[in-house]
Every structure is written in structure tokens, then in C-alpha cells.
Amino acid sequence: MSYSRFAIYYIPAEGPLADFGAAWLGWDVVRGCAARQPDLPGLRDITMTPRKYGFHGTLKPPFRLAKTQTVEGLEKAVSDLAVSLRPAICDRLDLMTIGRFLALTPMGDTHSLGQVAEACVTDLDAFRDPPPEAELARRRAAGLSARQDALLTRWGYPYVMEEFRFHLTLSGRLPEDTISRWTQAVRHSLPDLPAPFVVDQIALCGERADGHFEMLHRYTLAG
């Protein structure tokens, strides 16, 4: 299968958290197929935006493969990078509101997690084709700080390096008067969250012709 874009994600290992995320969003990024969502009125609507990406934490945002590179070369580079990186350990995961969307975010010291993400952004940058001007204009229209604009210009995405905030998205932007209700619905559905929260693998994912992402391979961090 050919892919229009690639990304480096953290995808929870097989287990209750991964099962919850696939079912909640309605897409299993590991198996590359739809997942049955809970029977909650409105759930399909509020998860429409993040559904195609699957349940994940972004480490290197989606990018088009440079014309001088190959998928095989990218796979080897990700494998080599994983061998050099140490697992990142945070205190735990918790449910938070970021802006007006819900996400699971790490608590405690996230410095080591930021280091993993930074390495994914910088060490794999040779495989990234620069984004088209229309994409840059769309991101700038959202209102970026000077630093975010500089990061967008250099790395193709404004929320990397010190602007990076790891999260596993659970909804699109919610009307303010529904945030409390959906927060309660998520908490009622969540399994026990990991404590500590350990990122000990990275996953190479590709965007299919239907716009959904699926996992190509998972690599263990062994540094």
C-alpha cells in the first residue's frame, strides 16, 4: 500500500488502554480498521476530527516523504533512531482539557519525553518534504507566536521543541457547555491509567488513500 504522509507516534501497547482508545475514537490504528464505538449519543460527532489519526501521541507530526528518499530508508532510520533512544518515564497519565478538547496527558517531569520527541523531529528531518505554501498559510492563519512561526518554517510544524506538549487526543473542539459532560463520560469509560507512564517504543505510521493512519511498524527504544 502507498501512503501520502508518514508520522512517528507513540501508540499504547496492546491492552486495556489501547482497546479503550480504539473504541472511543472508532478507529484501530494498529490493525488499520474501524472499531465499534460505545453507544453514547454524540460520540461519533465529537471524535470525527481525531478519528482518522487513531489513538496516539504525536512525536513527529505527519509529513510527506521527500522525493529523494524511500520508505525503506525511512524505516531503517526510525529503527536506528529507536536503538539510540532511552525510554521516557513520567509519573502518570491523566485526563485534561487542552483548549476545548479532551486528551490524556503525562504528569510530572516530562523532560525525557520531550527529548524523545525532539530526536524524532530532528534526526528524521531529512525524510520530510517541505510543506506546500497553502499548508503554511493555513497554520499561520490560526495565529502563531513569532517562535511558533519560526518552528513552522524550520521544521514544518509550529508545536515542536519547547512548544511541544505530548497528549493522546480524545475529542475535537467541544462546545464549552458540553466539556464537563464529556469529561465525566470519558472518566466513566477509562481503564486504570498507567503510573508510571512509560514511553518505551515509537511507531512509524502512514496515511492511507482514505485519509486514515495505520501503523506500519513499532520499534522498541533501546538506548
Q: State pLDDT tens for residues 65-108.
A: 999 999 999 999 999 999 999 999 999 999 999 999 999 999 99
Q: pTM here?
A: 0.96
Tell me what the mean pLDDT of segment 135-141 comes to: 94
Percent share of the chain, pLDDT over 90? 98
pLDDT > 90? residue 1: no
Query: Which residues lie across from 22 on neighbouring strands?
Result: none
What pLDDT, on the 0 to 100 scale, is given for residue 195? 96
What pLDDT, on the 0 to 100 scale, is given for residue 223? 85
Domain range list for the chain: 6-129+164-220
Q: Which residues have a Cβ under 8 Å from the Cβ of 33 and sit 6 or more positions away?
A: 27
Query: Could you give the 3-state DSSP secondary structure of residue 215?
Result: strand
Q: State pLDDT tens for residues 150-207.
A: 999 999 999 999 999 999 999 999 999 999 999 999 999 999 999 999 999 999 999 9
Rounded Cα distance, 183 and 50, in Å: 16
Rounded Cα distance, 65 and 76, in Å: 14
Q: State pLDDT tens for residues 23-63.
A: 999 999 999 999 999 999 999 999 999 999 999 999 999 99
What pLDDT, on the 0 to 100 scale, is given for residue 114? 97
CATH architecture of 6-129+164-220: Alpha-Beta Complex (3.90)
Report angle CA 27, 186, 99 to the nearest 5 degrees: 90
